[in-house]
Amino acid sequence: MTTDDETLAAMAREAALGAYAPYSNFRVGAAVLGADGRIFTGANIENAAYPASNCAEATAVGTAVSAGVRQVEKIAVACIDAPSLDAAYPCGRCRQILSEFGTQRVLVTTADSDTREHSLEELLPHQFKL
C-alpha cells in the first residue's frame, strides 16, 4: 500500500463518522479517487423503509459522478463499527456500481486497521456491461 492509499483509507474512516445508520448501527465510509485526481467521500444513509437505504460506496460514487467524474481509479471502504467482522467488503450492488465507472482498485479496511487491496475484476468477475 502506498501513502496515497493510506490517505484514502483514512478519508474513508473519517467519512464513516457521517453515516446515518440508526437501524444497523453499522457505520461505513467510502472515499473515491477519480481519474482527474479529485476525491469524494460518502457514508451509508439508512431509511426506515430498509431497501431505501444507501451504501457508503453508492453515496461516494454518486457524489463523484454528480461532480463530473466518469472514471474511478480506486475506492477505499471502511466500517468503523464491526470489530467482529474480518472486513466490510462492498456488497454486490455496490460492486456493480463500481463496475459502471471503470473502477480499477478497491481498498478494504480490515477490523485490525490493515488495508487489503483488490482489483474489481477479482471482486466482480464477468462484469455486466452494455
CA distance 106 to 74: 6
Residue indicated by cell numbers 466490510: 88
Residues 69-98, mask of contacts with ligand THU (x by CB under 6 A) = -------------------x-xx--x----
Question: Toward ligand THU, which CB reaches closer, 37 or 51?
Answer: 51
Among 41, 44, 103, 109, binds ligand THU (CB under 6 A): 44
Residue pair 18/43 in contact by the 8 Å Cβ criterion: yes
**Residue linked to cell 464491526:** 82
Q: Would the CA dihedral through 51, 120, 109, 19 be positive or negative? A: negative
Q: How far apart are CA 54 and CA 61, in angstroms?
A: 11
60 and 41 Cβ atoms separated by less than 8 Å: yes
Which of 9, 11, 12, 28 contacts ligand THU by CB under 6 A?
28
Q: Which stretch binds ligand THU (CB under 6 A): 1-9, 49-57, 64-72, 121-129?
A: 49-57
Q: How many residues bind ligand THU (CB under 6 A)?
A: 14
**Smaller CB separation from ligand THU, 68 or 125:** 125
3-state helix, strand, coil in the chain (%, to 5): 30, 25, 40
Site for ligand THU contains 21 (CB under 6 A): yes
Which chain residues interact with ligand THU by CB under 6 A? 21, 24, 26, 28, 44, 46, 53, 55-57, 88, 90-91, 94
